[in-house]
């Protein structure tokens, strides 16, 4: 990630010089996604997948017929609304994990 994007996504790094920002960010990434947290990440991914599957199944089985949507329109709504919402939730989860780890990294400096 470029330094500008890092600062945009994680403004708590602004007081530090650019090379230290990069080091803190990389350390936070390693801390948040290290091998010791692999099972926790798997659990989160499986829960998010189950949530996405449940929302999609409810939409196809209940909401689409209730709104008299055709199969094609229901699939289009799923591709335009449900799938991007899943990606946004995953990105926010990723940022939250890094932000938590970044706070630990910054607190360790103080």
The rounded distance, in Å, linking the Cα atoms of 53 and 103 is 33
Helix (H) or strand (E) holding 93: helix 83-109
* Band of residue 2 on the pLDDT scale cut at 50, 70, 90: confident
pLDDT of residue 79: 92
Give tens-digit pLDDT for 28-84: 999 888 888 889 889 988 998 898 899 889 999 999 999 998 989 999 999 999 889
Are 6 and 13 contacting, i.e. CB atoms less than 8 angstroms apart? yes
Closest CA to 86 of 42, 57, 48: 48
**What pLDDT shows up at residue 92?**
92
Residue 100: per-residue pLDDT: 92
Q: How far apart are CA 84 and CA 93, in angstroms?
A: 14
Count the neighbouring beta carbons within 10 Å of the beta carbon of residue 69: 16
């Amino acid at each position: 990630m470029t330094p500008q994007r890092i600062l945009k996504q994680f403004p708590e790094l602004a007081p530090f010089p650019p090379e230290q920002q990069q080091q803190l960010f990389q350390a936070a990434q390693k801390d948040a996604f290290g091998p010791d947290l692999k099972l926790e990440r798997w659990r989160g991914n499986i829960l998010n997948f189950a949530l996405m599957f449940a929302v999609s199944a409810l939409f196809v089985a209940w909401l689409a017929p209730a709104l008299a949507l055709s199969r094609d329109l229901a699939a289009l709504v799923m591709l335009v609304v449900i799938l991007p919402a899943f990606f946004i939730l995953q990105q926010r989860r990723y940022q939250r994990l890094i932000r938590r780890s970044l706070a630990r990294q910054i607190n360790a400096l103080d």
